[in-house]
Chain A
């Protein structure tokens, strides 16, 4: 039983680290653009992806250390409060990252008047664990709606990949939320998260290529 758990944790840590690497790449691309132009839109996107990546790295390292390193011999009840704190921190930082995306869409939408009429306001007051996945869905819904609206309205290069990426990110949180039904949903969630970041990365590269 313990070996199955450790294998699940191992896959979890590896997937989280891959997602972290993609987030860092996207964040650094936006940071570079921000440093060149000084636009707050780019700073908000960089901060959002940077926070996402930071949360993923901290979670992967602490969970990895807990199960395979420093605390490996003491696996059990003594770890529970420690893991709970890590998960809580991870959840708060991830929701904060999504709020940066929401802020970018609220402050710098490409279609200001129409977007305000078409998109439901973000539920920013719902930040609290343990319903993190569902909270993320609520917050991300705004980002998904705005990016989809942008794709439909402008059809600009890369917009379809970005919108699909945010949809996949939303799906990943729904799958994570449904994990108690089946552990496979957890990995499906991770796969959706990875796919979402790859789509966003692809969209960004496609847009910059022109």
Chain B
């Protein structure tokens, strides 16, 4: 069965959600929960950090956490995803 297409914004959401579900998360956990290979995940983590949605923990750089801006992004994504679903569409 063919894999469903995921938009960039959907992948951002899946990564942030994976981190949020743990509070702080290591890259291996994010890989598993967001269903992404290491090289692609690295690229997205850099993008999310540049956008200020995700950051490395100051005490343990192997851990990631979602910033305030990231939390707002997740809330807005969920709100607009519900809107798209009402139309039978995916974001």
Chain A positions within 8 Å of B, measured between CB atoms, are 29-30, 33, 36-42, 45, 104-105, 108-112, 115, 146-147, 149-151, 153-154, 156-159, 161-162, 203-204, 206-208, 210
Contacts and interface: CB of A to CB of B under 8 A. Distances in A.
A109 B88 contact: yes
B91 A207 contact: no
B90 interface: yes
Interface in B54-77: 76-77
B86 A39 contact: no
Q: Which 9 A-B pairs have the closest CB atoms?
A: A150-B88, A158-B86, A207-B86, A33-B80, A156-B85, A39-B91, A207-B82, A207-B83, A159-B86
B84 interface: yes
Nearest to A205: B83
A17 B8 CA distance: 38
17 contacts: A36-B76, A39-B84, A41-B84, A110-B84, A146-B88, A147-B87, A147-B88, A150-B87, A157-B86, A159-B86, A159-B88, A162-B86, A162-B87, A208-B79, A208-B82, A210-B78, A210-B79
Interface of B: 4-5, 7-9, 76-80, 82-91
Given A153-B88, A207-B85, 6 more contacts: A33-B76, A45-B89, A108-B91, A109-B90, A147-B88, A207-B83
B80 A36 contact: yes
A162 B87 CA distance: 6
Nearest to A204: B83
Contact of B88 (A33, A37, A154): A154
Nearest to B88: A150
Contacts of A30: 83
Contacts of B78: 210
Given A42-B91, A208-B79, A37 B9 contact: yes
A192 to B, nearest CB: 19
B2 to A, nearest CB: 8
Given A38-B9, A40-B7, A208 B87 contact: no
Contacts of B7: 39-41, 108
A151 B76 contact: no
Given A156-B82, A204-B83, A208-B83, A108 B89 contact: yes
Interface centre among B82, B83, B88, B91 (most CB of A within 10 A): B88
B38 to A, nearest CB: 25
B82 to A, nearest CB: 5
A42 B84 CA distance: 7
A35 to B, nearest CB: 11
A205 to B, nearest CB: 9
